Amino acid sequence: MISQKFNAKLSNENGIALVMVLILSAIVLAIITGLIYMITSTTQISGMQKRYKTALEASIGGSDAIFQLISTRGDPFDAATATYLKYLRTTSDACLTAKLNTTTDATNWGACAAYAKATSLTINPNDPASYDMQFKLGDPLGINPEKEYIVYSKIVDTVEGNSRGDEGLLKSGVVNANTGEVTVMSIPYLYTIEVDAERVNNPSERAKLSVLYQY
């Protein structure tokens, strides 16, 4: 009789349904948590990509500005535009002239206050000696600071050539070339440029470019 009662207790399945429900609930909860995490992560990544894309566009704008600086052999903006963009050139005239016209060298670039900083790929917004120019894009008037980006740029390396903005009557013009005339081959300058654009009210939103520009 005792053996039969013991076997009856072992075969009792009361409560198994509750255990199964708890297990299934835990699985469903894990799946839902995973889906929420994936959706949240996707939203965050999309937002980060959007902000980076905006900063990248600001960097590209900075690249265009320094291309103009190179082609004009000096400040690229007129007074009104410079004021509007809050343009500031932090390098001296002598240093800029050296960077634009001579091969990178401690002697050639002696006019630059700190040669190591002048040739470094690093731009520190808090150190004016670490960049050549800065200006603002997006909303320079400061009406919507969340849309405003500040761009820092500098020339870090120059390979000297013989080209200029205007090559005149090279190979063609109002007179025909004479027999035996030797045309000088145009060798362009090569400039390595660093650009750093960051959001004014959130410097962590930034984009950096390294550009090799042929002029």
User: Which pLDDT score, from 0 to 100, does residue 157 have?
Assistant: 95
Cα gap 171→177, rounded to integer Å = 8
31 and 119 Cβ atoms separated by less than 8 Å:
no
Cβ within 8 Å of residue 53, ≥6 positions away: none
Region of 168 (left: φ > 0; alpha: ψ -120 to 50; beta: rest) is left
The C-alpha atoms of residue 23 and residue 29 are separated, in whole angstroms, by 10
pLDDT of 28-65, one tens digit each? 888 888 888 887 777 767 666 777 788 888 888 888 88
Residue 124 burial (CB count, 10 A): 13
What is the predicted pLDDT for the residue at 76? Answer: 85
Angle at 109 between CA 105 and CA 110, to 5 degrees: 110
pLDDT of residue 167: 47
**How buried is 60 (Cβ within 10 angstroms: 0-12 exposed, 13-18 middle, 19+ buried)?**
middle
Read off φ and ψ for residue 138, nearest 5 degrees: 95, -65
Q: What angle do CA 57, 145, 207 make, to 5 degrees?
A: 30
Q: What pLDDT shows up at residue 153? A: 92
Residues of the chain with pLDDT under 70: 1-15, 44, 46-48, 140-142, 164-184
pLDDT value at residue 19:
77
| Domain locations along the chain | 48-214
CA nearest 154: which of 66, 46, 95, 82?
66
